[in-house]
Structure 1
Amino acid sequence: MKLLRHHSDLGCWEMALAPPAPSLRGLVDTYSGYDERNTRFTRRHELPGIQAVLIVNLGAPITIIDTDGHVVAVASGAGFAAGLSDAYAISDSTGSQRGFQVMFTPQGARRFFGLPMRALTNRAFDLADLLGQAAARQLIEGLQTVNSWEAGFRLLDAMLLRRMTVAPDFDLAAARETSWALRQLQQSHGRMTVASLAAELGCSRKLLATRFHEHVGLTPKSVARILRFRHALDLIDAVPANWSAIAQDAGYFDQAHFANDFRRLTGRTPGDYLADRLPDQYGLPVD
């Protein structure tokens, strides 16, 4: 487990990060537990990535405005889940919050929620609406009783393993091919073309897009855009803010292409992102 702590005029927070049990690898990317107190920021743009998310809120109420604009109020002792998004979502808090978060791979979310990933795209849902009242309550009440991050992660392992199923009508071959195509996009940071992926799989681009909607939630083109963006964020961390060089290294046509995608995915310019981002934190604070 990795533990991050921060204390400054921005506020105080602790974040614990841990991998899932080995039997959940490929289905869950990571767990996190977080405890934020008296932060100066109360609204954040939550940036898109190639994971679906489940959050159990153990602190003050929060509000989520998903990418499609739906408002989800999350009380203390409640939870929500969201699929992949092609732009940022918004979270509002009191400045203090506490909870657990699961970052699913698309394959893991497809199996855990038992829904086509297109049903979750750009949306956030109350956890009870996705899991049912009894299963959501069992998960939330279990996490409310733990006395450490490690104990919470062990409980998540057990509960997720019990629910990971494959529906009788699940097209396993299509899921495997889609997972392979997603890995190629990830390994190339979004540079591999959709035409190349379809040719490698011996299918049409239309069929590949249909499979991505089912098993990922976004088109291959949208996934590639997010992966380029995420690679650009890594480059920003690694080198000084030479935007032209970062745009080129991340695979953008030019700096204008980079700036347009960046604003769509974050709601900010690259310069604003660099000035406003938080240390050891997810999301981007906004006024």
Structure 2
Amino acid sequence: MQVVAHESELGAWCMAFAAPAPLLAGIVEQYVGYHESGTAFLSRREMPGTSLVLIINLGAELRITDTLGQQFCFGMGQGFGAGLSDSYATSETGGAQEGVQVFFTPLGARRLFGLPLGDLFNRVVRLEDLFGAFAAELAERLLATDDWAARFALLDAALLARLKPRRREAALAATAWAHLAQSHGGITVSDLAASLDCSRKHLTHVFHEQVGLTPKTSARLFRFRHALSLIDAAPANINRGSIDWCHIAFDAGYYDQAHLIRDFRAFSGSAPGDFLARRLPDNGGYTG
């Protein structure tokens, strides 16, 4: 388990990162436990990514505005799952929060949620609507301890108990997803379909059910997340004028800087420079 702590005029936060149990490899990517207080900002932009997420709130009220503008409030012991999306969401607090976040692979989420992931595209779904009475039971167990290792062990056991059999169609989607990940979205959909000996139409159909996005949008998200990783590799105090955006665009696989800017506006709601100004240090995310 890795723990990152921050304290400054921005506020104080502590985040614990852990891998899942070996039996959940390929299903769960990572667990994150977080606690923060006294933040000088009340909202964050939650960037779209290549993982589906599940969040259980263990503290003060958490408010979410999804990519479609729908608003949700989650009190202590409540939570939600969110599908893949093509734009950012917003989270708001009163300056303090605590909770656990689970990052799933799309194929893992398909097996755990038990519904086509196209049904979750751009959506936030309350935990009780995904898991029924099991949701409250899991939250109660998590609230009964404040030890992150114990909480992650509880998640391991709970998720393993709910894991559904792998579907036959998942093999094609898993291989295609791996190709997109390895290339950071640099492979064309035509080349991807050809490498898998299937049609673009069939690949798109499989992606809709097993992933929730089209192959083309998935590739764009991998490219965008790669650009974010390149930005995050820069010192946190670097200003927007100090980054070579043409270099970032080239390394991330964009045609040119204008291509990078278009995707940043679509996914984050900001141009790259303005986006950089929203970055918080020590894995704090991005201000709203």
Whether TM-score is above 0.5 comes out as yes
1:217 to 207, 212, 216: 212
* Structure 2: distance between partners of 1:22 and 1:150: 15
Which residue number in structure 2 is paired with residue 40 of structure 1?
Answer: 40
Deviation beyond 3 Å, 4+ runs, structure 1: 237-240
Q: Is the 8 A contact 1:54 1:103 kept in 2?
A: yes
Deviations 1:42-66 (A, max 9, x none): 1111001111111110111111111
Which amino acid in structure 2 is aligned with residue 43 of structure 1?
A: S
* Structure 1: distance between partners of 2:278 and 2:246: 20
Q: What aligned pairs does 1:1-287 form with structure 2 within 5 A after superposition? A: 1-132=1-132, 134-166=133-165, 171-172=167-168, 174-238=169-233, 241-286=243-288
How many residue pairs get aligned? The number is 281
Shift of 1:280: 2.0
* Structure 1: distance between partners of 2:135 and 2:284: 25
TM-score, normalised relative to structure 2: 0.95
Shift of 1:282: 4.9
* Structure 2: distance between partners of 1:215 and 1:115: 9
Deviations 1:178-231 (A, max 9, x none): 111001000000001110111111111011011111111101111111111111
Q: Is the 8 A contact 1:46 1:282 kept in 2?
A: no
TM-score, normalised relative to structure 1: 0.95
Shift of 1:70: 1.7
What stretches of structure 1 of length at least 5 have no aligned partner? none
Q: Which moved more, 1:230-239 or 1:23-32?
A: 230-239
Shift of 1:261: 0.5
Which amino acid in structure 2 is aligned with residue 267 of structure 1?
A: G
* Structure 1: distance between partners of 2:167 and 2:37: 45
* Structure 2: distance between partners of 1:142 and 1:273: 38
* Structure 1: distance between partners of 2:24 and 2:231: 31
Q: Which moved more, 1:66-75 or 1:209-218?
A: 66-75
* Structure 1: distance between partners of 2:41 and 2:18: 25
Which amino acid in structure 2 is aligned with residue 129 of structure 1?
A: D
Aligned-residue sequence identity (percent) comes to 53
Which amino acid in structure 2 is aligned with residue 178 of structure 1?
A: A
